[in-house]
Amino acid sequence: MLPGLGGSELIIIAIVALVVVGPKDLPKLLRNLGKFIGKMRNMADDFKSSFDDMARQSELDDLRKEVEALRSNNLTSSIQSEMKAIESDISVSLNKGDSPVTMTPPSEPVDPKISYPQMDGLPPKWDAAQSDDLEAEVAPVKKPRARKPKVVAQAAAEPEVEPTVMPVKRSRRKVAS
């Protein structure tokens, strides 16, 4: 429907058209009006499709320009030059490592009582001489004795009783079918 026109307004317009044109010429008028509306829609669709084609064509032109720029710009040569530069850097760094590394002992003796903050939470080192002293101080641990479970003894004392099954009695009534 048209914006701003409701059903009641369209009925009033149809009645006025019927009175003005007449019942004889009204179907011809409506047919011509339908053809005119169809032509207007076709023209709008053609305009829209031509506009879309122009936009698509401009996008294709941009893509073609980018492809040509990529083809003219020799990427493989630039990549190969970068690879050679990296390779030369690696070979130089490997050649530096050929000289032997000399280790020199520390000039000052190391004090074993130095506190290391990263080692504060760890237990002290285990010393074999201390372990002999600790074993002498520790009293032997008594092993707990195994006890007999009471439940087993009670179950053995009680005699086993077999459950009896009672037969099911059927009724003699017949079901009416």
Quote the CA–CA distance of 26 and 20 in Å, as a whole number: 9
Q: CA gyration radius for the chain?
A: 52
Per-residue model confidence as pLDDT tens digits over 56-103: 998 888 888 888 877 777 667 778 888 999 999 898 888 876 555 566
**The total number of residues written for the chain in this structure:** 177
Average pLDDT, stretch 129-142? 59
Q: Decide which of 64 and 118 is more confident.
A: 64
In percent, how much of the chain has pLDDT > 70?
A: 56
What does the pLDDT look like over 38-52, one tens digit per residue?
A: 999 999 999 999 999
Dist CA 98 CA 95 (whole Å): 5
Indicate if the pLDDT at residue 137 is higher than 90.
no
Per-residue pLDDT reduced to its tens digit, 154-166:
555 565 666 676 7
CB atoms within 10 A of CB 26: 14
Share of the chain above pLDDT 90, in %: 15
Residue 131 has a pLDDT of: 58
Instruction: Flag whether pLDDT at 4 surpasses 70.
Output: yes
pLDDT of residue 163: 63
Whole-angstrom CA distances from 78 to 25, 73, 95 are 80, 9, 26
Note whether 114 and 106 are within 8 A (CB): no
Reply yes or no on whether the pLDDT at 121 is more than 70. no
DSSP element (H, E) containing 67: helix 26-72
In this prediction the pTM is 0.33
d(CA 27, CA 96): 100
> Which pLDDT value is given to residue 31?
94
CA atoms of 121 and 70, how far apart (whole Å): 62
| Whether the Cβ atoms of residue 134 and residue 124 lie closer than 8 Å to each other | no
CB-based contact 19:27 (threshold 8 Å): no
Q: Please report the DSSP string for 100-133 in residue order.
A: PPPP---SSPPPTT---GGGTTSPPPP-HHHHHH
Residue 53 pLDDT exceeds 70: yes
